[in-house]
Chains A and B, each alone.
Chain A
Amino acid sequence: EAAVTQSPRSKVAVTGGKVTLSCHQTNNHDYMYWYRQDTGHGLRLIHYSYVADSTEKGDIPDGYKASRPSQENFSLILELASLSQTAVYFCASSGTNTEVFFGKGTRLTVV
C-alpha cells in the first residue's frame, strides 16, 4: 500500500531554534515535495527533489532548506525558526503520470 509518513505529527518550536521535519515514502517514487498550508490558502511548494542527493527550490523557499539523503527520505530544515513559519507542512511523493500521495501533515507552532 502506497504510503508517505511524516514525523513528528506536531511540534512546538522556539523562535530562532532549529527544526527538522522528516518524510519517508515507500512508493518507490522519484519525486518528493514539501508544501505548507496556511488557513484560507492553498498549499504552497517550498522545496522538491527528483533524485537522491539533489533538491530544488519551490515557490517559497526562503527560510527553509531541504535534504534528500535517499530515494525514500526527504527532510525539511528550518535553521532559524520564525513566527511566520507557523503552519501545517505536508510532504508528498509522485511517480509516473498523475499519481501523487500525501502524508498526514505536521503541525508546527513557533512561539
Chain B
Amino acid sequence: KTQVEQSPQSLVVRQGENCVLQCNYSVTPDNHLRWFKQDTGKGLVSLTVLVHENDKTSNGRYSATLDKDAKHSTLHITATLLDDTATYICVVGDRGSALGRLHFGAGTQLIVIP
C-alpha cells in the first residue's frame, strides 16, 4: 500500500508563474519529511527538510510547510524558471536517525514552458 501520495502527478506552468505541489502520507511515526528535486536522468537533490509540527522552511524560491496532524506537506515554487523543470519527490522518514526507513512518493513531474 502506498504510504506517500503526491499530487498532481504532472503539472505544466509558464515561466514566472507560481505553483504548489502536495504530499499526503500515512507513514507512522513521521519523524521528518524531505523534498527532493530530480532532473531527468540525474540523482536526487535535497531542497528542504521539515521536522517539527507546523514547520515552515524557505530555500530561495522554494518554500515548504508540514502539518503533522493532517500528515500533509506542500512545496511552493515562486516565479518558476525553465530550470525548475524536473520531478519533485516527497520522502517521509520514520526515524530521526540512519536507523529509520525512508518512504518515497512517486513524484510530481513539473514542466515549465516559456
Residue ranges of A at the interface with B (Cβ–Cβ < 8 Å): 4, 29-31, 33, 35, 40-45, 50, 90, 94-98, 100, 102-105, 107
Contact = CB atoms under 8 A, between A and B. Distances in A.
Interface of B: 2, 4, 31-32, 34, 36, 41-46, 49, 51, 89, 93, 96-99, 101-107
B42 A45 contact: no
Nearest to A90: B43
A40 B87 CA distance: 11
A-B pairs, 7 with minimum CB distance: A42-B104, A31-B98, A104-B43, A102-B44, A43-B104, A94-B98, A102-B43
Given A29-B98, A97-B96, A98-B96, A42 B89 contact: yes
Nearest to B89: A42
A60 to B, nearest CB: 13
A104 B102 contact: no
B44 A42 contact: no
Nearest to A59: B101
A41 to B, nearest CB: 6
Given A41-B106, A42-B89, A102-B36, 8 more contacts: A42-B4, A42-B106, A45-B102, A95-B98, A97-B96, A100-B102, A102-B44, A102-B45
B42 A104 contact: yes
Given A98-B32, A98-B49, A98-B93, A45 B43 contact: no
Nearest to B34: A98
6 contacts: A4-B43, A41-B106, A50-B99, A95-B98, A98-B32, A100-B102
A96 B98 contact: yes
B102 A103 contact: no
A30 B99 CA distance: 10
A96 B100 CA distance: 11
